[in-house]
Amino acid sequence: MFEFHADRKRYFDIQVLNAEKYVIPFIEEKFPVKAGMRVLEIGCGEGGVLKAFINKGCEGVGVELDASRIENARIYLPEDIAAGRLKFVVKDIYKVDVEKDFNGLFDIIVLKDVIEHIHDQAKLIGWMKNFLKPDGIIFYGFPPWYMPFGGHQQICKSKISRLPYIHLLPKGIYRWILKNRKENVDEMMEIRETGISIERFVSISKKEGYSLTHNRHYFINPIYEWKFGWKPRTQSAIIKALPFIRNFFTTCVYYITQPNNNNSK
């Protein structure tokens, strides 16, 4: 289960395919992705999502704190980097200089499977306005915390990796189980601290001055097509309409947001 996380090149290839087949088409339902647009991905990893935008003629910039993942990106994407279509910055997003590090503002900012790992989510969501062009958008894709594997327990090495909802156990019990199974307790507990629900994401975005212009909730995450061979399925209208309850049965959500002062709402 989830073995491809150990194969970074395979993971990169899947990210490209998923972005081309699902992420970009979702964005284009409301915001046409055109050649020449500038795309920033925060927490870009090996750059697989960005590669899909590069293939459409965009200019990409990726920010990542893990230097080893950027080293992989440079191996996978040498031609795009050499041609100036793609640039990577190994830096804390709060310490970035827009002109020196990014060479200007962006049409699209992407956070794919990232916001659920951020400690001060309100700070980051508000901060990103500094990088957007006047009519720019932000795309988010993330698993709600309460979904079956919202604790990312799939990365564990023991049988915990196959247990849905185990991350929702009381904190002390969950920690004891992780320790007993010789898992990386600090890593898993950090994920627990940063997990985000649909309602919390919506609340933060509105409080930070954004309009939520488009969304899609998935019962079966699009990336499961490559993980398990499962066909993606959107969430039923009835479940999607049930606050909080929907988190338990929604494996992934996509959102587009725009600052309220943008001309395009």
pLDDT at 2: 44
> At the top level of CATH, which class does the domain 3-148+195-259 belong to?
alpha beta
DSSP bridge pairs for 108: 39, 137
Q: CA 124, CA 111: separation in Å to the nearest integer?
A: 11
Phi first, then psi: what are they for 142, rounded to 5°?
A: -160, 155
The per-residue pLDDT for range 31-75, each reduced to its tens digit, is 999 999 999 999 999 999 999 999 999 999 999 999 999 999 999
pLDDT at 8: 87
Q: CA 21, CA 145: separation in Å to the nearest integer?
A: 25
pLDDT at 5: 55
Is residue 223 over pLDDT 80? yes
Is residue 141 over pLDDT 70? yes
Q: CA 61, CA 40: separation in Å to the nearest integer?
A: 5
Is residue 265 over pLDDT 60? no
265 compared with 109, residue with greater pLDDT: 109
Please work out, in degrees rounded to the nearest 5, the angle formed at the alpha carbon of residue 111 by the alpha carbons of 86 and 70: 40
Residues of the chain with CATH 3.40.50.150: 3-148+195-259
CB 48 within 8 A of CB 19: yes
The per-residue pLDDT for range 88-99, each reduced to its tens digit, is 999 999 999 999
Contacts of 117 (CB under 8 A, 6+ apart): 43, 191, 194
User: What's the average model confidence in pLDDT over 12-20?
Assistant: 97
